[in-house]
Amino acid sequence: MTIRWGQQLSGETRPLVLEWQEIDGPPVVVTGKPSYGTSTIQDLIPYEFGGTVDHVLASDGVRCRLELPASWINNDNASVSRAFPTAGVEPAE
């Protein structure tokens, strides 16, 4: 699994981008209805935070990209991107 996060330049704003990708896990089985956690994320991020969710149930693993508006992160335009030395975690580009 890899988890990356950081701020992406997008015009004058710097939205927070979170990326999750499963690697070498069991095959993904798509059921007809999303789980409670998946539907909560897909509904909550756009509605409550004005962000976007790109969630893919690929056969090689789940991929999810969340983008949250810069206004949700901070109000003083200071960078909040941090890197933590954790196995399997890579900073976003």
Rounded Cα–Cα distance for residues 19 and 33 (Å): 23
pLDDT at 84 over 60: no
Residue 70: what pLDDT? Answer: 79
pLDDT at 91 over 60: no
Percentage of the residues of the chain whose pLDDT score is greater than 90: 23
When pLDDT is averaged across residues 39-63 and rounded to a whole number, the result is 90
Q: What is the mean pLDDT of the chain?
A: 77
When pLDDT is averaged across residues 7-14 and rounded to a whole number, the result is 69
